[in-house]
Every structure is written in structure tokens, then in C-alpha cells.
Amino acid sequence: AQTVTQSQPEMSVQEAETVTLSCTYDTSENNYYLFWYKQPPSRQMILVIRQEAYKQQNATENRFSVNFQKAAKSFSLKISDSQLGDTAMYFCAFMIPYNYGQNFVFGPGTRLSVLP
Amino acid sequence: GAVVSQHPSWVICKSGTSVKIECRSLDFQATTMFWYRQFPKQSLMLMATSNEGSKATYEQGVEKDKFLINHASLTLSTLTVTSAHPEDSSFYICSARDPKAPYEQYFGPGTRLTVT
């Protein structure tokens, strides 16, 4: 069974600074996808970034980037130039594609507060 | 982008009554939909996987007779909480998969259920 661990229940960062959220996972699969989702106070789940395990290059989306270490089974999210709107719960998730019987596995989440 | 709606966004019902929550994919056909439950300050917990035209697959510990799921069409799945009790109060989120993008999962905005 796949598991996802986020060891930081809460974090805070000053506006405009950089913060890194940690995520580790456990799987015996070789082909999978990793995601970071943001859940603001509205509780709508918003996709932040996606990484395909077979791609060595780290995914980047504007101020968001990941450090994907496949051998270490680590998938951290770096937020640069933090903004007040980044305040939210952040969930790391794992998914095996083309297997409709298996869903995403979510980590417990990290609550990020961006301070003015 | 792919949009998933949920209705209602919030509902209050009395203990012992049933309540139905609808999940619709608005601009794509979803062969698979998922239902999650989220308690305050916790992660998403998968309740069941719903495939169009077939019976839902429930996760271990989820009462299939209490949480009835129907996926009658490619754009609609419903979750009915039967004989609701206060402990069923929670935030329910649905998501849907587009077969054309199997690595994606599109989330609805969620439904807050309060049982009094």
C-alpha cells in the first residue's frame, strides 16, 4: 500500500520570503504521479503542481517548484516570494495512473501561514 | 478547464432524515467519480469510488447502506446519507476523472453537512 507523509503540521513564513514544505512517500511502483494541492479557507482543492515519476526534471509553475528525489522518495514544494494568498492547507498526494480502482493517496497536510 | 460542481454547498438536516448530495462534471464525461470526507483540520479520506453504470466500491470501514452512491450517467454521481446522525456531520468532497486525462482529478467545491 502507498503512504504519504508530511512531517510539518504547521509552518509560517514572512511575506516575500521562501518556504519549503516536505513530503515523503512509500511505494513499490515505478510509474506514478505526485501532486501538491492547495486548500484555502474556501476549501476548494486547487492543483498547485504535478510531477511525473519518470521525468527527472523537477516541475515548476511560476513561484512554485518541487525537488523530486525518486530514490529517496521525497517530493518537497518550494514557494518563492510568498504571498498572503498562499495561506492555506497544502496536501501532498500520490497516484498511480490508468488504474481507475485506485485513487489518490493524500498526506495529512501542512498548514501554511504567510505573515505580513 | 474541467469543472466539477456540487449541490448543495451546505445543508442542515435533522437526525434520522436522509440527504442527497449531487456531483456533476460540467464540461467532460467522467467515467469515474470519487467521494471524500474531510473532518476539520484533517486530510481527505476516500469513502468510495463510483464508476458509471456499476456499483460503487467502498473503502474499508465505510457503511455502504448508510452512504448510498449512484453514478447513473457520465456527468452525475450522487451521495445519499441515509438516517443521518450528528456524527455524519462533515465536509464532503467529490472529484471526477476525465478519461482523456487519467492523471488528473478535478475536485468539486465541497458540501458542508450539519446534522442536528
Query: With 80 as the cut, is the pLDDT of residue A98 above it?
Result: no
| β-pair partners for A67 | A76
* Euclidean distance between CA atoms A110 and A57, whole angstroms: 24
Say whether B58 sits in a helix, a strand or coil.
strand
User: How sure is the predictor about A100, in pLDDT bands with cuts at 50, 70 and 90?
Assistant: low
Per-residue model confidence (pLDDT) at position B55: 87
Residues from chain B contacting residue A44 (CB–CB below 8 Å): 107, 109-110
The set of cell numbers assigned to A9 is: 503540521
Tens digit of pLDDT for each residue in B47-103? 999 988 888 999 999 999 999 999 889 999 999 999 999 999 999 999 998 888 878
Per-residue model confidence (pLDDT) at position A43: 94
A111 touches B: beta carbon within 8 Å: yes
Distance, in angstroms, between A7 CA and closest chain B CA? 13
Angle at B64 between CA B37 and CA B38, to 5 degrees: 5
Residues from chain A contacting residue B110 (CB–CB below 8 Å): 43-44
Enclosing H/E stretch for A106: strand A105-106
Query: Which of A43, A95, A98 is nearest residue B110 as measured by Cβ atoms?
Result: A43
Q: Which of A8, A45, A113 should one mutate to test binding to chain B, selecting the residue with the greatest count of B CBs within 10 A?
A: A45
* Percentage of residues of chain A with pLDDT beyond 70: 95
Lowest-confidence segment of A44-48, B31-35, B51-55 by average pLDDT: B51-55
* Euclidean distance between CA atoms A86 and A55, whole angstroms: 27
Which residues of chain A from 35 to 94 reach within 8 Å of chain B, CB to CB?
A: 42-45, 47, 50, 52, 91
Q: Do A95 and B105 touch (CB under 8 A)?
A: yes
Q: What is the side-by-side strand order in the sheet with B67-73?
A: B4-7, B19-25, B76-81, B67-73
Per-residue model confidence (pLDDT) at position B29: 92
Q: Do B43 and A98 touch (CB under 8 A)?
A: no
Residues from chain B contacting residue A111 (CB–CB below 8 Å): 41
Q: Do A45 and B93 touch (CB under 8 A)?
A: yes
Are A105 and A29 spatial neighbours (Cβ–Cβ below 8 Å)?
A: no
Query: With 60 as the cut, is the pLDDT of residue B27 above it?
Result: yes
Distance, in angstroms, between A1 CA and closest chain B CA? 14
Q: Which residues contact B16 (CB under 8 A, 6 or more apart)?
A: B83, B84, B85
Q: What is the DSSP string of A64-95?
A: EEEEEETTTTEEEEEE-S--GGG-EEEEEEEE
